[in-house]
Amino acid sequence: MTAGSKHKVIYHGNSKWLGRLFLDIFIPILNIGIDYQGNSINNL
């Protein structure tokens, strides 16, 4: 969670439905996930 944030923010989070994949940013209460292109996809 960042300073001043009203919602829990998870960085590099995952869930059962994602399997081995992850989201770069996930806000569970809003059910919003953000994934951005980067080098980590090449490390699977």
| pLDDT tens-place string over residues 1-44 | 555 668 888 888 877 778 888 889 988 888 888 888 766 555 65
Cα–Cα distance between 41 and 9 in angstroms, integer?
Answer: 21
Look at the pTM and tell me if it is higher than 0.75.
no
Residue 3 lies in a domain: no
The domain of 38 spans 10-43
Residue 28 lies in a domain: yes
Q: What is the pLDDT of residue 20?
A: 85
Q: What is the pLDDT of residue 36?
A: 85
Residue 4 lies in a domain: no
Cα–Cα distance between 32 and 26 in angstroms, integer?
Answer: 6
Distance in angstroms between the alpha carbons of the first and the last residue of the chain: 26
Q: What is the pLDDT of residue 12?
A: 86
If one counts the domains in the chain, the total is 1
Q: What is the pLDDT of residue 15?
A: 75
